Amino acid sequence: MSKITLGIIGSGQLGSMLCQAAQKLNVKTVVISDDEYGPAKNFSSKFIFTKYNDQKNIQEFIKIVDVVTYEFENIPIDILEQIDKEKKVLPNPNINKIVQNRRLEKTFVNDLGIQTTKWTFVEKKEDILNNKSLLPGILKTNTLGYDGHGQFVLNNLEDVKKNWCFTADFILEKKVNLKKEISVIITRYQNGTISTYEPIENVHENQILKHSKIPANINQKIYRECLDNTKKIADCLNYVGTMCVEYFLDGNDNILVNEIAPRVHNSGHLTINAFNISQFEGHIRAVCNLNMIEPIKVSNAEMINILGKEIENYKKKTFSENEFFFDYKKKEIKEKRKMGHLTILKK
Ligand code: ADP
Ligand code: MG
């Protein structure tokens, strides 16, 4: 029986699912969060509600855990670095520093010789005027974006004249004519071995993930290329844990990295039911240095995200034996908020 206590920063649905996977492996969890009612509270062995800059609580957290991981990337980097000085934080905070900053992230990927969308860093209006070829494009805040927050579509120069207040740094990305979106989830262990899941095909609505499915409808070449690129990215980051790379497939079958998630990922929820080992269990095994289990698919699957008020209908539904409903039990329903998901196993 393992005697490890794992600290998890963040208490959303990803944290909940990590706690449940840890339970199965007899790993104790201490969740630290600035959301008093975070869903992971229901599944953690211990829950610390705190502001992330409250030194007393951070110190208590550090004292009682053996190793630390996180469920979202927008954690103040100095806090991660402080914790890492006393208890190992995995994935390493340096990785988070790159990935929580779109400019550094895209530069890192491009430097590996891997394509992204065409992009430029934007501090002021002139930076857009000097990069007209990137229109129509999407202006994204350089940091702190998620689920489409902090994104603005710029169709033409007229849009630039609107009231953009350049109070934050942005990047401007050329809008891609999307043929498909794909994500690849892998788990990299402390000895450098990597276990992989097959590419997952994703459909977004209003910049939020709506559906994911396996198998992805892609050819062998694209399958191999996105798997190889994901492994290369993980190796070059010396990554430990489960991570995801989101890809765009454009009209010419170019495969472009959209972004790297240094954590378990929404598109991987179907791994809970469709594989012998979920992305969450893989993550716990890797960061706690337990032995690797190679994922084996038991079924094809589709996952549907349940947003906002949709959850009310799902709660009343009955499901067949190939359908798995997950209610995140969030205290408050908010429009477009991820409230739960449904996985349907398919032939
Ligand atoms: P977030 O950090 O909020 O997940 P993303 O950059 O992944 O932001 O964008 C969310 C979604 O918006 C993408 O999955 C895609 O559907 C759409 N999108 C983002 N950037 C582009 C782009 N350059 N061209 C076309 N669609 C895009
Ligand atoms: Mg994304």
Chain region(s) in the chain for CATH 3.30.1490.20:
118-174
- Does 178-346 carry CATH code 3.30.470.20? yes
Q: Beta strands 178-188 and 194-196: pairing type?
A: antiparallel
Report the pLDDT value the prediction gives residue 176, as an integer from 0 to 100: 97
Q: How far apart are CA 84 and CA 49, in angstroms?
A: 20
Mean pLDDT across the chain, nearest whole number? 95
Kindly tell me if the per-residue pLDDT of 6 is higher than 90: yes
Q: How far apart are CA 298 and CA 189, in angstroms?
A: 23
Amino acid identity of residue 188, one-letter, is: R
Share of the chain above pLDDT 90, in %: 89
Distances (CA, A) of 231 to 41, 90, 183, 192, 226: 33, 17, 13, 10, 9
Ligand 1 centroid to residue 156 C-alpha, Å: 18
Ligand 2 centroid to residue 246 C-alpha, Å: 7
Nearest ligand by distance to the CA of 204: 1
Q: How far apart are CA 16 and CA 42, in angstroms?
A: 8
Closest ligand 1 atom number to CA of residue 149: 3
Report the pLDDT value the prediction gives residue 163, as an integer from 0 to 100: 63
Place 145 in a pLDDT band, splitting at 50, 70 and 90.
confident
CATH architecture of the domain formed by 118-174: 2-Layer Sandwich (3.30)
Specify whether the CB–CB gap between 21 and 278 falls below 8 A. yes
Section 334-347 average pLDDT:
96
- Lowest mean pLDDT across 83-97, 118-132, 211-225, 300-314: 118-132
pTM for the predicted model, two decimal places: 0.96
Kindly tell me if the per-residue pLDDT of 337 is higher than 90: yes
Kindly tell me if the per-residue pLDDT of 162 is higher than 80: no
Greatest CA separation for the chain: 63
User: From the CB of 138, is ligand 1 less than 6 Å away?
Assistant: yes
Report the pLDDT value the prediction gives residue 309, as an integer from 0 to 100: 97
Section 95-112 average pLDDT:
96
Chain region(s) in the chain for CATH 3.40.50.20:
5-89
- Lowest mean pLDDT across 28-32, 157-161, 313-317: 157-161
CATH architecture of the domain formed by 5-89: 3-Layer(aba) Sandwich (3.40)
Nearest ligand by distance to the CA of 336: 1
